[in-house]
Amino acid sequence: MAHTYILYSKSLDRFYIGSTSGSLNERLRRHLSNHSGFTSKAKDWEIFYFETFENITSARKRENEIKAWKSKAMIWSLIK
């Protein structure tokens, strides 16, 4: 089981799109931990949306599709 997920930070008013083959809660915990990288800029990330796939290859493909939109409006419409 794998997931494509969208995190949202209210303080940054930004989305983060990712994928994981593990637990979504564990992945969020790692995003909120002390690390370097884009999600280290805020500590208020929340999982706003996710899709489940049979394998990580499919999840990453979907992640790349969403990232290619480069549109906050399209991401909001997907979430709703």
CA distance 39 to 45: 8
Query: For residue 45, what is the domain's CATH number?
Result: 3.40.1440
Look at the chain and report how many structural domains it folds into.
Answer: 1
54 contacts: CB under 8 Å, gap ≥ 6: 1, 2
Q: What confidence score (pLDDT) does residue 47 get?
A: 98
**What is the reported pLDDT for 34?**
87
> What per-residue confidence (pLDDT) applies to 70?
94
Structural domain containing residue 55: 2-79
pLDDT values of the chain reduced to their tens digit, one per residue, 80 residues:
999 999 999 999 999 999 999 999 999 999 999 888 999 999 999 999 999 999 999 999 999 999 999 999 999 999 99
User: 4: closest CA among 80, 79, 71?
Assistant: 79
Cβ–Cβ < 8 Å for 14, 39 = no
Length reported for the chain: 80
